[in-house]
A and B are shown apart, each in its own frame.
Chain A
Amino acid sequence: MKHSMMTKLITGLFCTLLSLPAIAQEDELKDLPGYVDFGDLSALYGEPKIIINLGGTMLSFVSMMSSSESPETADMISKLKGVRVQIFETDSNTDASKAQFSKVKGNLKSTGWEPIVQVNEDDEQVLVYMKMQDGNMEGMTVMVVDEEEAVFVNVIGQLNPAELGQVMNSLDVDLELDLDP
């Protein structure tokens, strides 16, 4: 019995230690002023359909790789400190997502985020918020919920939306996503 407890203790400790790098990376982004805590919808919708976490190191690599082909793209990416995306399939059950929207919106307002765009339709909600600090853009967050999915995007760092199209073209990636609004 004593040995069994000891074995469980050691196993638990090893599992905790193995998850430390992921926790450390998440903590690194959490300290940035442009970070947004979206909460956890996985209990209701299951694991996210898409989950993306690009930290500063990875973005530096992408910026470096793009520099020869498109210096403008490299310059834009170099101003980003982190990009996070969480997408859940809602299967027409949008109540939980809308409730999470309200919760996140409340947190954003209380932490100095400014609303840029807000669309409230019965079947669709869109929120765009921006965080400014000392005249510098620290982050942008976009939340979209409709009958099919709930989308949470958090860009940490400086981003000019007018340059998005140019950057997407220069990244030269074929996306198989149904993004028709």
Chain B
Amino acid sequence: MKKYDEKWEDRINALLDGELSDTDAEALKSEASDDRLLARAIIEAYQLQQAMDAVHVERAPASLRKRLNAVPREQNAESRTGFTPRLFQPRWVMALVAVPLAIIAVNLMQPDTPSTAEIAKAPQDLAIAFAYLDRAGSITGREIESNVGHTMADAISGSVNRTIKFSNEHSKEKEV
């Protein structure tokens, strides 16, 4: 059907442009008298041609024509100076950068869920941190003991613990 339409179109255009021989023109008109669709296609094409002829053609401004004429020259000049791959054109570079940026941004917005290995390692990390806190406490106790004696050490370290404990209890009371 499509090929049939195209064949019609070529013949109708040739007819309207006066490019068909007399024999072919008569043959087409004869076909149109028996085929309403073909006749209608010829009429519509003729009306379209008349309408196009009636359109006033205005000459483009000189500045625009100058710029349009310069386009092929610029392209030729670029091709002479070196080949610019399409991927390195600014718009493609921006697109290449924007895609991973969008993916990473979406990932960053996801909740930070630790992996199984990280979760398994976390208690060990926490124990190491607490072990060093404990070590600092031991050093402190030892220093106090060596400087002011065992009794005073207990009193002072106990006081420190009480201070910290009071802070925690005070926090708990505030929470309640």
- Chain A residues with a Cβ under 8 A of chain B: 2-3, 6, 10, 13-14, 17-18, 20-21, 24-25, 50, 52, 54-55, 57-59, 61-62, 65-66, 77, 83-85, 87, 116-117, 119, 121, 124, 126, 128, 130, 132, 134-137, 140, 142, 144, 151, 153, 155, 158-162, 164-165, 167-168, 171-173, 175, 177, 179, 181
Judged by a CB distance under 8 angstroms, whether B40 is at the interface is no
Q: Known: A62-B119, A85-B129. Is A126-B171 also a contact (CB below 8 A)?
A: no
In the complex, the answer to whether A168 meets B93 with C-beta atoms within 8 Å is: no
In the complex, the answer to whether A168 meets B125 with C-beta atoms within 8 Å is: no
Judged by a CB distance under 8 angstroms, whether B155 is at the interface is no
Choose one: B97, B108, B132; the contact of A13 (CB below 8 Å).
Answer: B97
**What are 7 sample pairs from A and B whose C-beta atoms fall under 8 A apart?**
A58-B122, A65-B119, A134-B174, A137-B164, A137-B167, A168-B134, A171-B124
Inter-chain contacts of A158 with B (CB < 8 A): 168, 171
Of the candidate stretches B27-35, B71-79, B110-118, the one touching chain A is: B110-118
Mark contacts of B74-111 with chain A using CB atoms, 8 A cut-off: 1 yes-contact digit, 0 otherwise. Answer: 00000000000100100001001100110010011001
B-side binding surface: helix, strand, loop or mixed?
helix
In the complex, the answer to whether A128 meets B140 with C-beta atoms within 8 Å is: yes
B167 to chain A, nearest CB (A): 5
In the complex, the answer to whether A24 meets B108 with C-beta atoms within 8 Å is: yes
Mark out the residues of chain B between 127 and 158 whose CB falls within 8 Å of any chain A CB in the assembled complex. 127-140, 142-143
Q: Known: A10-B93, A58-B119, A168-B131. Is A142-B136 also a contact (CB below 8 A)?
A: yes
Tally chain B residues at the interface, Cβ within 8 Å. Answer: 47
In the complex, the answer to whether B112 meets A130 with C-beta atoms within 8 Å is: no
Q: Known: A17-B104, A21-B112, A142-B133. Is A52-B128 also a contact (CB below 8 A)?
A: yes
In the complex, the answer to whether A144 meets B88 with C-beta atoms within 8 Å is: no
Judged by a CB distance under 8 angstroms, whether B49 is at the interface is no
Inter-chain contacts of A160 with B (CB < 8 A): 164-165, 168
In the complex, the answer to whether A164 meets B100 with C-beta atoms within 8 Å is: no
When chains A and B are docked, how far (Å) is the Cα of A13 from the Cα of B98?
11
Inter-chain contacts of B114 with A (CB < 8 A): 57-58, 61
In the complex, the answer to whether B112 meets A117 with C-beta atoms within 8 Å is: no
Judged by a CB distance under 8 angstroms, whether B70 is at the interface is no
In the complex, the answer to whether A171 meets B123 with C-beta atoms within 8 Å is: yes
Inter-chain contacts of A50 with B (CB < 8 A): 128
In the complex, the answer to whether A136 meets B136 with C-beta atoms within 8 Å is: no
Judged by a CB distance under 8 angstroms, whether B160 is at the interface is yes
When chains A and B are docked, how far (Å) is the Cα of A35 from the Cα of B147?
32
In the complex, the answer to whether B136 meets A144 with C-beta atoms within 8 Å is: yes
B34 to chain A, nearest CB (A): 66
In the complex, the answer to whether A117 meets B160 with C-beta atoms within 8 Å is: yes
When chains A and B are docked, how far (Å) is the Cα of A153 from the Cα of B135?
11
A130 to chain B, nearest CB (A): 7
Inter-chain contacts of A87 with B (CB < 8 A): 132
Q: A119-B139, A137-B168, A153-B136 are in contact. List 17 more A-B contacts (CB 8 A).
A: A2-B88, A6-B88, A13-B97, A17-B101, A54-B126, A57-B114, A59-B122, A61-B119, A126-B136, A126-B139, A126-B143, A142-B133, A144-B136, A153-B132, A161-B164, A164-B137, A165-B134
In the complex, the answer to whether B133 meets A136 with C-beta atoms within 8 Å is: no
In the complex, the answer to whether A58 meets B137 with C-beta atoms within 8 Å is: no
